[in-house]
Amino acid sequence: MDELLIYEFRPLFLTLDRIGPFQNFYAIDFTDENNRPSNFFMMVSPNGMGKTTALEIFSCLSGLLGKKDIDAYGHEDLDKRNGRAQLDFWVRLRWQGRNISIVLTVLAGNIGEETFLKPWSLEDLQAYSAETWHSAGFRSPVPGRYENLASRTDNLLQDLLATFRAASETVPDDSFLQPSFHLPTVLYLSAYRDIPYPNNDNHDCIQHSAHNVMERSIAMPDHWRYQPLHAFEAHSAYWKNSLDNLLVWLKWLDNGSFEKARELINEQLFVDTTKRLKDVRRNPPEAIIDTGNNQTHRLDRLSSGEKSLAYLFLRIGAHCTRNTIILIDEMDIHLHIRWQHRLYNALEKMVLDNPGFTVMMTTHSLEILQRFTATMEQERKGIFMAGELIETDLS
């Protein structure tokens, strides 16, 4: 039988109910005016209106794709309250020798007898150039109880979910380290993108009692395996989760990955400056930033804006696949307006250079919002823009 192969994986809608500010049905439409899934999406609102909540729920539901059974969704409103949500994707794939476009729905939360927050009719499918509708997810009719909603008679859905699970459970080899790997992944990057100094207080460090010191070991990063979702912890100081360990690991692989990461950072972050990501030192193992005046320092000594950009580019570069959805909360945080435009340019170029990428971001920057809206209705090859303005009382 032919391998199941995914060509495109794009978000269509996120529907929320009884979650945070979204106490009534609220649907976020990720498509443009021609019903095409966007690949460059911006969401804006005043503080407290639900931007971060929407990204968190998007990431929670995406993570269900790789799970057979769950004991928690990972969001309080879904796990302990009456919240419920539905996430719809448009997927173009090859299955059993033929190419097909489908809508894949993921459900979570306190789903009642009506089951779907947004049911899909044949007319709806045709409007979005999809042939069939397939639904998966977990229902929690009461807190703490989870029912698998994936249809056992839907062979395509079962093959798709089995492919996700098999890849998640496989020890990664070189095929998983390449952006050409076809399975989709969601990268959730919260607004807290600090790079703290990595401490040695975990099991991946070796204690030498004679000198009463801790020595870091080279350890496979926690996010190195394929997963449908990578939600990166904010402010994690553990060595195994650190960007220093990631760069040391890439150097240890000796397959060109470190050199690509270094080129990315130097081109996107340190262009027009004297700074450069130089190398990694052996003792202690950590990344070295060359300041250009015969001095070096660690990653955690960068400015807050430099840390934010280094965090973004290294995580995206190291964990993306051919079909990657990048969720960036408050893309402008800690950035001077000139650097905000630099990041915007880099993300736009990333989408153009990688046709399977989708960038979804929130911002409070009026200047970035004005730039986005000014170009939103322009037809540009390879860029499909859409946005969401949350401004009304949702209670």
**Domain spans of the chain?**
5-184+322-389, 205-225+237-307
pLDDT digits (tens, 9 = 90+) for 328-363: 999 998 899 999 999 999 999 999 999 999 999 999
Q: What is the pLDDT of residue 279?
A: 93
254 pLDDT above the threshold of 80: yes
Q: What is the pLDDT of residue 152?
A: 85
294 pLDDT above the threshold of 60: yes
Q: Classify the phi-psi angles of 250: left when phi > 0, otherwise alpha if psi is within -120 to 50, otherwise beta.
A: alpha
Indicate the burial class of 106 (C-beta count within 10 angstroms; 0-12, 13-18, 19 or more): buried
Query: Which residues are CB-neighbours of 343 under 8 A, at least 6 positions away?
Result: 309, 312, 331, 332, 335
Tell which wins on pLDDT, 145 or 354.
354
Q: What is the pLDDT of residue 200?
A: 58
As a whole number of angstroms, the distance between CA 185 and CA 230 comes to: 7
210 pLDDT above the threshold of 80: no
pLDDT digits (tens, 9 = 90+) for 16-42: 999 999 989 999 999 998 899 999 999
H/E run at residue 388? strand 385-389
Which alpha helices (H) appear in the chain, and where do they start and end? 51-63, 76-79, 122-127, 155-169, 243-253, 257-268, 304-319, 337-353, 366-375
